[in-house]
Structures are given as structure tokens and as C-alpha cells.
Amino acid sequence: HSSYRQDTTPLFDTSQLSIASPCTETFNVMATGELNPNHYPARRAAQVVQHYLNTRYGSPFRLIGVQKVHSANAEDVADSGRKYQLELSVKETISNTTENCSAELFFPRGVEQHSPKVQASCEALLKIDTKAQEEALYQEYKRNQSLVSAQNLPDSHGRIAPDMEPFWQLGILASSFIMLNESNENTLYNVAQVANITQLATEDDQLKFDCHTLLHDMVSQEIIHWKLLFTWSPPEGVKVLQMEKLPHRHEQEEPPNTN
């Protein structure tokens, strides 16, 4: 039995998601024009917007998930790729605040994998004031003599200790940079688990973390392991310094402690 599971509260509701044999949807036959908002192409594009918004607005106390895709449109752009236009509502999952958002995505086409280009803004998300919580977390762990380390967020029962929630959120935010970078027209990424997150010595007023994260591609059902080095502070947000895809390992195996 697999020891990994997705967080019991996924960032968006997948119950309405139809993944109709995506492997048959090659670049040439993917639908253009108006798309069904509940079907795979629209939801996959929306998931990329989610990753983008988290890289832009996310914090250990502000995490964004797609709530609903209201409309979606796709068009081929000559031989260079495909453009999507989306109207969607996004939910800040900690405060339960919902905002509307427009987004435009471009998936480049070619032999080499290039990350999608996203244009989206939702400045209303910044009205959710997390400054005091962020500053308190920052000061606590900046002064911390015993550097924090946590494994298996969430555990096999979907549980996370309350004091570890911000570190699970930081793991998701750092992973959002990978998921944004790695997404294409045939992927749908979520964070399955932060297998390990370890605080390193503070540098240049930035909290620094080594992180091993497990990403779940809902299309291929693959669990993909990544190792990350990133920093965080309230004024600077998350900055990913290094990302490395780890060799494929059997899903049943326990993730190693990457200390």
C-alpha cells in the first residue's frame, strides 16, 4: 500500500474534473475555440495559473487554489504553440477568501520542453493581510538556535502538526516554481507530500531551507521526486536557488531523509 497520499484538502476540487484519455489528445487534435470548463484541457491550464499565482502572491499564510473555471478558450498560434484564455475564481485556502481572475497562457511547441508563459493578476489576494503572522514566523526561526526539520508533511493519515503547517505551505510554494516550469499540455501537477524540509543557517537575512518534495502528475499518475534549495523572508518571499529532479524510484518506497 502506498505510503503517499495527497493532502486531504486538495487546492482545487477535482470531483468535477474529466480527464478523458489525455494520451489521445496530441498537440494536433486538441480542441480549439470554446472549451468545456470542467474538462481536462481547461482544468490543466487553470492548474498552471494556480502555480503561477502561488509563485507571485503566495506566503506561508497565503495559499491559492483554483476554485472554478468559468470559461476557457484555446487557439493555435501558427506553428509556435497554443494560447489559452481563462476566466476563473481562485480561493485563498487559509482565509477561505474567493476572488475572480482572468488569465492568458501560452504553451510553446517544439522539440525542447519550454515552460508555459502566464499572464494573470489578482491583486485582491494581497488584501488578505498576513504581514504580522509572517513577521512572527520569520523572527521565531531567524533566532532559532536549533534549526527546524520536518518529515512527511502530511503523514500517511493526511495529518500535519499545526506548528508545521507554515513549512508545508512553504514546501508547496517552492514546488510551485517547479510545477510551473515543468507543466505542459499533458500534465496536471499537485504536491503529494513534502517528504523532508530542513532549515539551514540564515544567510543575508533570508531563512534558508533544503527540501525534498513529491509531486503527483494526475495524468500519468506518476510520483516525481524533487530536491530544492530555497530561501524565504517576508519582504523577499520564496526564492528557489536550486532544483534537481531525483532519479525515479518505486512508489512503495519510503522517501529518504535528505539531510
Every domain of the chain and the residues it spans: 22-245
Burial class from Cβ neighbours inside 10 Å (0-12, 13-18, 19+) for residue 239 reads middle
**Reported CATH class of domain 22-245:** alpha beta
> Which residues have CB under 8 Å from 106's CB, separation 6+?
77, 81, 82, 83, 84, 116, 117
Sign (positive or negative) of CA dihedral 121, 125, 129, 132? negative
Gyration radius of the chain over CA positions: 18
Identity at 254, one-letter amino acid code = E
Of residues 154 and 25, more confidence is placed in 154
In tens, the pLDDT along 31-65 reads 789 999 999 999 999 999 999 999 999 999 999 99
CA dist 59 and 79 (Å) reads 38
Note the Cα 5 to chain centre separation in Å.
16
Residue identified by cell 503566495 is 58
The Cα 224–Cα 55 span in angstroms is 20
Q: What digits encode the pLDDT tens for the residues 147-198?
A: 999 999 999 999 999 999 999 999 999 999 999 999 999 999 999 999 999 9
